[in-house]
Structure 1
Amino acid sequence: MAVRIGARNTTGWKATISVAMSNYIESGSIIAIATSLGLWQAQFHIGDLAVGLLASLSANAFGAAAGAMVGGPLCDRYGRKFIYTYDLLLYMLGIVLAVFAGSYAMLLVGFILTGIAVGAGVPASWTYIAEQAPKDKRAAHVGTAQLAWSIGPMVGFAFAIAMAPLGLLGSRIIFAHLFVVAAGVWWLRRGLPESDIWKDERAATGQRSFLHGIGQLFSKRVNLTAMLFLFGVYALWNTVAGQAGIFQPRVYSATGVTSVTEQYALQILVWFCTVVVTYLGFMRFGDRMSRRVLFAVGAGLAIVAWAVLIYAPATLGTLLFFAIAWGASSGIGAQAFYGLWTSELFATRYRASAQGVLFLAARVMVGLLSIWFPVLLAGIGLRALGALILGLLFLSFVIGTIWAPRTRGRSLEEIESERYGTVTSATGTTRAVDGAGAAGAGPGARR
């Protein structure tokens, strides 16, 4: 499929925002976990390895990975609306278990269920938003998901400061607020239409098997090159960001900041900067200027931020610089571009499956490191981990800057036509232009 003659309907900002709230719920879950780990550890008398398992099997890593692997193919087979209609019901069940957890096992099950739910919902939300957005405002609409993701931690850490006097009860209240948000979002989504592009694809080709998209992803060169590119951009960066998201208070402790309130205040500043730069940077300029340049600025700033935190003296100025620079870099960084480029570089028939596979890979990497990160941080210290952190960020910077695709201002159908060599008319009739597809058109193919 690719170029469909004639205009398609696009959803408004209300639909974009309601679907993007999957990202608020995901990040909110991660921060609720991050700010409560020490309290759960004391409550259930568990060690650092058990804490690592809570983090790695949750929405931050393996739980989300499993959800994405199942949710992506389901999204391509049954539609985008299918996933965002039901995923939040599972999410709310997991949150209820966390709110009322009376044992480590109950808490672990709750974290796993919420992870599976957000893993299924996030690829569907990015796919839906990109497919329904106008071609000249796609970055602005996709950026809304990143904006929602950034607001989640900002609100979560503010809640954590406010609820700190209540101890573990305060953490349970933070989880409860996520249940309320999820219920409201689920209610709003019920009336949303299905993706127009997905409906056209289904009308033209019929229903495919659950694993069809997965097989196509690994059998076509055009897909393999795109997956390798996006893995390099996102999974490597996210391995660092995933530890920061859930273990950053412990990282601050390693630099000498032992006050929990100060740790959370620094994190509020980080995410405030991310919110501001996402809106003023990615959403305002992602459709208007070179995305290669925008990505390079964000990725480069991330490297500088962590280098200063790891190796510079732990002064107030150092910590404030890190918070501002890391937060700003995330606003125009790998995750925002990943959500945009993944939707652009894959055909409609397996667009969500591609996101599922890539999200799986990224979260598995986060999960593997999360199991041991608290142990390593306590054992060898932040400086010894510095080479790994900076190496991952540098590789992401190089890959994204060199091979950034030139897709700005073009419809998803036009991009698909160039990359896969097919054309679809307004009636849904498909015609192959090049049976092999644009196999040589890698991520950085020119217009």
Structure 2
Amino acid sequence: MDTATPARPWRTALPAGMASFLDSSALVSAGIVVGTLYPDAMSLSDGQIGVILGVQTLSFALGALVGGRLGDRFGRRRVFTWSLAAYALGALLLAVAAGPALLVVGAAVIGSAIGADLPVSLAMINEEAPEGRKATLVVFSSVLWNVGIAVTMLLSALLSGFGATGGRVLFGYLVVVALVVLGVRLTVRESAEWRRARDAADAGESVRFRDLPQLLRPPLVLGLLATALYYAMWNVGANTMGQFGSFLYVNVGGGEVATYSLVSTIGLGVGLVAGVVFMRYVDTAARRPLFAAGSAVIVLAWVFPLVVGFSEFSLLATLLLSGLGSAFAGETLYKVWSQELFPTLLRTTAQGCTIAFGRIVAALAGFATPAAASASAGGTFAGVAVLALIAAGIGLLWIPRLPGARQLTSVDENAT
């Protein structure tokens, strides 16, 4: 039985959820600083910038794989403590780097830390939350993700005029926030749910789902495939807007970066409000219709320019609609499903695998996006729309039919 008091889940959810805040802040900061503020001072070539940011993305995937597994084996608290310490170190290296070599090292360290932190932090939030509020608090972490982006964009706007020095200050800010959050995390206890499951397994008691190979066999492999495919297909569109939105707006729509940045900021505000609204309903029967509506809006976002033509207006509509729809679907629901579908001792392992898969697919798609959009914007948008439609089908028709962790555990207990 869950004995958590009503106050305690929030005391866990905030420091654990700050993983999302810090992770999005690091990703956005790296793109802005390495891509625009460091190149002149460090004589970085386009190729070197690509390598640095590429290393961060691949390290994110590797960190999720390793950190997810370690979280199931050795505990949520231990991993999310050391991963945050590594995050602070990586941000510090990026702040003091004088050339590309240390930037690559810093990107690898902070990327690995982000990847390792995310699955264990989400599991900690879910496992310490009371029944009826678990999904609410997981969605709270997605709200913090958007807050991290908004704060970073605001700070970058204030610091961009200082060139490389502004970039160092931005990374220094991440170091300070990470150390503050680390101090708070040290006061958080280990997940009671994980502790009970780990103690039972170590004592030789019958725990049906505990070994890695079980993720590759039914029934768990079905959940692994469903969440991996959903996240990867949705993430292609999200990554396209996040990484290449300004490129598309300027080169396909004929707009200006300043306008796109302004509307992006407005879009973040809309997404934040929508995310807070979703928190009120995600643990209720309204989740499914809201997910369906959000998925439809995401598909509409990519279809709209195909119908009305490519212009500044239609591409800004894509930006705003995709952000609004993703508040009720996309990564927000993926995080919730990843907690609900997998038993305790394989939960972070499964999510680490699907995070890594989704990130790698998005990165591979990203390599081709600029050339594909320049050659055929219509074909690119149609392809993303099809992926979004398939993802919606997975979320509406496949995932709801899968047995949840509670059902699997119940079956196991009845069998014994």
Q: After TM superposition, is the score higher than 0.5? A: yes
Which aligned pairs between 1:46-61 and structure 2 lie closer than 5 A?
Answer: 48-58=46-56, 61=57
Letter in 1 for 2:55: L
CA offsets per residue over residues 286-339 of structure 1, 9 Å max, x none? 112243222111121112123335664555543543333222112112211111
Counterpart of 1:67?
63
CA offsets per residue over residues 179-202 of structure 1, 9 Å max, x none? 121111111110101111111101
Counterpart of 2:396?
401
Rate the CA distance shift 1:98–1:373 in 2: closer, same or farther, 3 A. farther
Letter in 2 for 1:217: L
CA offsets per residue over residues 212-235 of structure 1, 9 Å max, x none? 6432211x3011110111112212
Distance 1:217 1:250 in 2: 39
Which aligned pairs between 1:73-84 and structure 2 lie closer than 5 A?
Answer: 73-84=69-80
Is the CA contact (8 Å cut-off) linking 1:239 and 1:366 kept in structure 2? Answer: yes
| 3-state SS of paired residue (1:433) | helix
Paired residue for 2:268, among 271, 278, 300?
271
Identify which range, 76-85 or 172-181, moves more after superposition. 172-181
Distance 2:296 2:185 in 1: 37
Is the CA contact (8 Å cut-off) linking 1:158 and 1:264 kept in structure 2? Answer: no
Counterpart of 1:236?
233
Letter in 2 for 1:147: V
Unaligned runs of 5+ in 2: 205-209
Rate the CA distance shift 1:85–1:207 in 2: closer, same or farther, 3 A. farther
CA offsets per residue over residues 362-408 of structure 1, 9 Å max, x none? 1111222334444555x53644422332222121111111124279x
Paired residue for 2:321, among 317, 325, 330?
325
CA offsets per residue over residues 54-85 of structure 1, 9 Å max, x none? 33321xx3111100111011101111101111
Letter in 2 for 1:170: G
Counterpart of 2:27?
30
Counterpart of 2:3?
8
Rate the CA distance shift 1:21–1:257 in 2: closer, same or farther, 3 A. farther
Letter in 2 for 1:402: L
Paired residue for 2:381, among 383, 386, 396?
386
Paired residue for 2:165, among 151, 166, 169?
169
Give, in angstroms, the shift of residue 51 of structure 1.
3.6
Counterpart of 1:358?
354
Counterpart of 2:207?
none
Which aligned pairs between 1:6-405 and structure 2 lie closer than 5 A?
Answer: 6-9=1-4, 11-36=8-33, 37-45=35-43, 48-58=46-56, 61-206=57-202, 213-218=211-216, 220-256=217-253, 259-280=256-277, 282-309=278-305, 312-313=308-309, 317-374=313-370, 376-377=372-373, 379-380=374-375, 382-405=377-400
Counterpart of 1:411?
none
Give, in angstroms, the shift of residue 29 of structure 1.
1.2
Paired residues, what number? 409
Paired residue for 2:405, among 408, 411, 416?
416
Distance 2:245 2:355 in 1: 22
Q: Are 2:414 and 1:433 equivalent residues in the alignment?
A: yes
| 3-state SS of paired residue (2:400) | coil
| 3-state SS of paired residue (2:160) | helix
Give, in angstroms, the shift of residue 343 of structure 1.
0.6
Distance 1:12 1:32 in 2: 30
Letter in 1 for 2:414: V
- Larger RCO, structure (CA 8 Å, separation 6 or more): 1
Is the CA contact (8 Å cut-off) linking 1:77 and 1:207 kept in structure 2? Answer: no
Letter in 2 for 1:269: I
Distance 1:398 1:118 in 2: 30
Distance 1:99 1:309 in 2: 40
Give, in angstroms, the shift of residue 142 of structure 1.
0.7
The structure where helix makes up a greater share of residues is 2
Letter in 1 for 2:358: A
Rate the CA distance shift 1:217–1:118 in 2: closer, same or farther, 3 A. same
Q: Calculate the TM-score normalised by the size of structure 2.
A: 0.90
Letter in 1 for 2:103: L
| 3-state SS of paired residue (1:221) | coil
Letter in 2 for 1:401: L
Give, in angstroms, the shift of residue 356 of structure 1.
0.9
CA offsets per residue over residues 119-146 of structure 1, 9 Å max, x none? 0000011111111111211121111110
Rate the CA distance shift 1:287–1:261 in 2: closer, same or farther, 3 A. same
Cα RMSD of the aligned pairs, angstroms, is 2.6
Is the CA contact (8 Å cut-off) linking 1:20 and 1:144 kept in structure 2? Answer: yes
Distance 2:40 2:385 in 1: 32
Identify which range, 84-93 or 99-108, moves more after superposition. 99-108
Give, in angstroms, the shift of residue 49 of structure 1.
4.7
Give, in angstroms, the shift of residue 50 of structure 1.
4.1
| 3-state SS of paired residue (2:177) | helix
Letter in 1 for 2:10: W
Identify which range, 128-137 or 256-265, moves more after superposition. 256-265
